Structure 1
């Protein structure tokens, strides 16, 4: 049997075993340390919503754009494996050293440039503030920006120790050469493909911490950032705790968790998992695989229950987790493991392979945000939908008291209201509520600026306020930064992603000022609200 077939046979067996163990709440097995490192070890991950068959009959409760929806469909249940996940993270914490957010940012290794010439706005008005990422992040085919949050969500006083203003955005791994054209969703990477391009690995999701600060040495303002890999813990067949990137059953729409929305609240980071619910991470468990800051040395790590001392390698980008007593993380210094999950209680019957949405049953968790202008603070969740024949939904939106999500011991229902979005064509990429107004980003692709819509509730319905405000191409998730009065987002497109992008780095063209390059940007809320 060929090595390729061996890997696929192993994957089939492991997936079946993992599914059975996930049902019972036990550990999901991974491969032994001596098996090929490119075997996907944990494609079956929490949370997992109950799957049902899509049918247009589930549109029966559709009211109208802006009309009421059923908040009960949004009810979240604690992940069945939360207790087991806690045990795994506790084991991992005993092996790997930790770094707090402030230390991580103190060693931030990348620069964001305010007001560089990159311009995804075109004919749309310029934002109040714009940050450009370093060239490789701006045009990366692998990492696609999506969710956005920051310290204004995390803390009521918008302060995280001495760290100053902090923003976070999430990116999903959207390009896996060697897997992309493989009809098997698990796929596999040959040794040659990995050697040629480490992007062959499906790396899941990373979160980028961004800090605007004054350089202590020069006294000059600067914006620095650092990437952190999100991880899923498991126990392999050698009874070693280990971790992998985040994965979900989103194929063929995407290869893993989309991270279309993120919310940082207190110590917890909530990440949207489209078909399933929420994944939860903890800022107190950011693992540091290179404590001395010298990537050329393999720093000593701790020992798992076997008592064997381990080290870490942050230069090898082709491996993740523990292999032969060495820890790998796709080349990232920092890893943050999932600590819990929330899954939809209702059956998930949205059609796979389509952007159409049913009108009842479990929604899609396409994006999330935080509203601190209400009492209590609430987490907003909404759907990205494109209406089709038989599926008229423009996308539902609802909210939860966010503090209730910290308990993880009982169901959390939506907060008494839910609506269909008013935009008749759908396509919402992000939404944020503040002071009674709901702001919604709608992307129009690469060929024209996006739309930023404003709505208010009237007699239980969402009603449009004014006209759409034109904004960046590829506009994504929304984040309200209360102290500065800005509404932030990130653009997702890259040169070469469409024929109308003028520069194509893959073909050796210079990046120039191409409007498809990514930026973080903030509009003043007062300016948005004053638009006709």
Structure 2
């Protein structure tokens, strides 16, 4: 998470030159006062204070309301700090169903009636990009860290892009107890997220009211669009004739539905009013696929929920040069699609756009923190009580019941010593969305010397934590519970530069992650590279 404590970005569109503009208005802004203490915070990507707050959009264009904001006291909560690894209050993590869930369900049903829907099996049969297995041309580990058991390199444009920054991982081992989606052909599936971090035209006009980019800027560089978050589906397959393994993958745009000014259903990329710019919104720092649902972290608010049965296909004939017929909304007007134009999302003049992506997954619900959120926006230190930050998510299938794990990214200072809280939820309780879901099982402060957790996952009473170190090699920590207190095990293991979220693939016994930094990232060395990688858990556990 090139991270802020509240993770990043998103986008929106607009009604006229709707490309991205509605997103430019979407947001909010807040900044809580903070006293920086004696401990220095590593240089992180921070909100840009030069950007004034964007106007609050009309209610019809707002995404789910944010968690209740509270002003952080000058001392953000050391009085509740029980020490590294100590127990935290599970009540602070309680989630409540999103206030707009019923309205969201109605809008998704309208969208489903207009756009053709495809199964995940169909999507996996149309993976259109290739990752290289065991590649040597990209190495985020360098001489200071052991090489992983397996490594996948993405296509070059995904590896070097400034626009899309990889973040979280999950896979079919989370989704299904038998690690297969439907059949044996549904094995070896990984998902990773990325957020849109690059907007070269923002504020060139000096007027947020009319959007981020001028028409000329959009034509010159579609990166002007703030596209929000995408999820990438990948699968390793073995050729039945040659026995050769290959990995294919495809990007899918995450979206939310809204009713446009013409009263028609439409959609846009995800955004979240976390900071003074749209891009400083949800950036999917954590993700868990469980059954039909995909849970995505929304840093200051809780989680967004997506449904694998709601994958919309804007190019069902698999020919981008044709304008495939779509359905009709309440106005009865026939619509078509265009997946070649990357400058728009949603319905415009009876044509559906998706920033060039074939597949779109709309948000179907949200979970919000019930406690007030008093973590200060744009800062990396954290309160010790009240709502945490949802910086990363993972799944523990070694417990009964299966538990979703949520933790926060924090760097401590003198007034705010917390290195981040982490807690677990019975994941099945999140499916009904009819009542509050409290944290159950355990809730702790992380036992880290200086914070910076980018991801954590538990199995068999052990916790594994990826910790970043700016543009240097990260560290993989191990811990276990002793009378309710988390205690570290052994020494931290050097790992990739820019290590992110963690995912356990039970069948292969691998601990997976992804590195986020491109070689072009500011302050990077030659070992800033993006790869998906897996260590054998048996090897990790055997380290001193």
Above 0.5 in TM-score? yes
**Quick check: 1:74 aligned with 2:93?**
yes
Alignment of 1:125-524 (within 5 A): 125-161=146-182, 162-179=185-202, 188-215=212-239, 219-251=243-275, 255-446=280-471, 448-502=472-526, 515-524=527-536
2:64 is the counterpart of 1:46: yes
- Distance in 1, Cα, partners of 2:268 & 2:13: 9
Give 1:522 deviation, angstroms: 0.3
Residues 402-439 of structure 1, C-alpha deviation per residue, up to 9 Å, x if partnerless?
Answer: 00000101000000421110112100000000111000
Structure-2 separation of matches of 1:72 and 1:339: 25
**1:388 offset after TM fit, Å?**
1.7
Q: Is the 8 A contact 1:30 1:236 kept in 2?
A: no
CA-CA distance at 1:293 after TM superposition: 0.5
Distance 1:385 1:183, change over 3 A: farther
> What do residues 459-507 of structure 1 show as CA deviations (whole Å, max 9, x unaligned)?
11100100001111100000000000000000000112133424xxxxx
SS in structure 2 of the partner of residue 226 of structure 1: strand
Residues 189, 233 of structure 2: 8 Å contact kept: yes
8 A contact 2:107–2:258 mirrored in 1: yes
1:351-382 Cα shifts (integer Å, max 9, x gaps): 11211100000000000000000000000000
Q: Cα–Cα, structure 1 residues 355 and 185, in superposed 2: closer, same or farther, change >3 Å?
A: farther
Alpha-carbon separation, structure 2, partners of 1:181 and 1:251 = 19
Match of 1:525 in 2: 537
Please report how far the alpha carbon of residue 389 of structure 1 lies from its aligned counterpart in structure 2 after TM superposition.
2.7
> Partner of 1:209: helix, strand, or coil?
strand
Q: After TM superposition, give the deviation of residue 179 of structure 1 in Å.
A: 1.8
In 2: Cα distance, 1:204 partner to 1:83 partner: 23
CA contact (8 A) 1:232 1:246 kept: yes
| Closer/same/farther in 2, CA of residues 185 and 438 from structure 1, 3 Å limit | farther
CA contact (8 A) 2:114 2:328 kept: yes
TM-score relative to the length of structure 2:
0.87
SS in structure 1 at match of 2:378:
coil
Distance 1:72 1:518, change over 3 A: same
Deviations 1:132-160 (A, max 9, x none): 00000011100000010000000000000
1:115 corresponds to which residue?
Answer: 134
Specify which structure has the bigger relative contact order, considering alpha-carbon pairs within 8 angstroms and separated by 6 or more residues: 2
Consecutive unaligned residues in structure 2, runs of 5 or more: 1-11, 28-61
* Residue of structure 2 equivalent to 1:16: none
Q: How far apart, in 1, do the equivalents of 2:490 and 2:116 lie?
A: 52
On the 8 A contact 2:13/2:268 being kept in 1, the answer is no
Q: Does the CA contact (< 8 Å) of 2:69 and 2:374 recur in 1?
A: yes
Residues 11-34 of structure 1: CA deviation (Å, up to 9, x unaligned): xxxxxxxxxxxxxxxxxx9854x5
Question: How far apart, CA to CA, are the structure 1 residues paired with 2:126 and 2:18?
Answer: 34
- Report the counterpart of residue 4 of structure 2 in structure 1: none
Superposition misfits of 4+ residues, deviation over 6 angstroms: 180-186
- With 45-54 and 403-412 compared, the bigger mean Cα shift is at 45-54
2:141 alignment partner, SS class:
coil
8 Å Cα contact 2:461-2:481 kept in structure 1: yes
1:180 and 1:464 mapped to 2: Cα distance?
46
Separation in structure 2 between the aligned mates of residue 364 and residue 184 of structure 1, nearest angstrom: 31
Report what 1:63 is aligned to.
82
Q: Report if the CA contact (8 A) 2:76-2:382 is conserved.
A: no
Between stretches 211-220 and 316-325, larger displacement belongs to 211-220
Unaligned runs of 5+ in 1: 1-28, 503-514
Give the CA RMSD over aligned residues.
Answer: 1.8
CA distance in 2, matches of 1:200, 1:30: 12
The CA distance in 2 between the partners of 1:318 and 1:438, in whole Å, is 43
